[in-house]
Amino acid sequence: MEENRFRISGTIEKKLSIKDISASFRKQEFIVNIESFDYKGEPKEEYVKFQCVQNTVTTLGGINEGDKVSIEYKLTGRIWENKETGKPMYFTNLDVIDISVIDAATGKSTLGDVTRPGEVLSMDGKSNDILSGG
């Protein structure tokens, strides 16, 4: 896996419309609900916006709101100069490389075995829940 590649799982909260930004650039943004924990260890929901650009827009076709998914993505960023103020503005995006639906009924994924949030596999392949100390 490349250095600037990450993987996360969550539930599709909302799919936004495909936008044709120009004749040669299109994107579709979507919101993912990611289960997390606050500083006290209490469950907390995070809502994170990802985007599919160009050819990856088609990967969202068979994915619906409410589907649990595994997303491989990369961080991208750019600088844009505001012509009115002359000041630079910085943009950060989470660009989807691949997205797969996880079958919640069986706990299986199109990717194979996927760990639950807070779960780490030890070197012997056994599951250890880092949140409960097990």
Domains of the chain: which residue ranges? Answer: 6-106
- The domain 6-106: what is its CATH number? 2.40.50.140
Residue 112 DSSP symbol: B
The CA-atom distances, in angstroms, between 74 and each of 4, 34, 77, 81, 121 are 6, 17, 10, 23, 24
Q: What is the pLDDT of residue 111?
A: 45
Residue 42: half-sphere exposure toward Cβ, Cα within 13 Å:
3
- Is the separation of the CB atoms in 95 and 53 below 8 Å? yes
Residue 109 has pLDDT above 60, yes or no: no
Q: Which residues of 49-66 are buried (b: 16+ CB within 10 A; e: fewer)?
A: ebbbbeebbebbeebeee
Phi, psi of 12 (to 5 degrees): -65, 115
Residue % of the chain over a pLDDT of 70: 75
- Is the separation of the CB atoms in 38 and 44 below 8 Å? yes
Q: What does pTM read for this prediction?
A: 0.69
**How does pLDDT run across 43-95, given as a tens digit for each residue?**
999 999 999 999 889 888 889 999 999 999 999 999 999 999 999 999 999 99
Residue 8 has pLDDT above 90, yes or no: yes
- Is the separation of the CB atoms in 68 and 53 below 8 Å? no
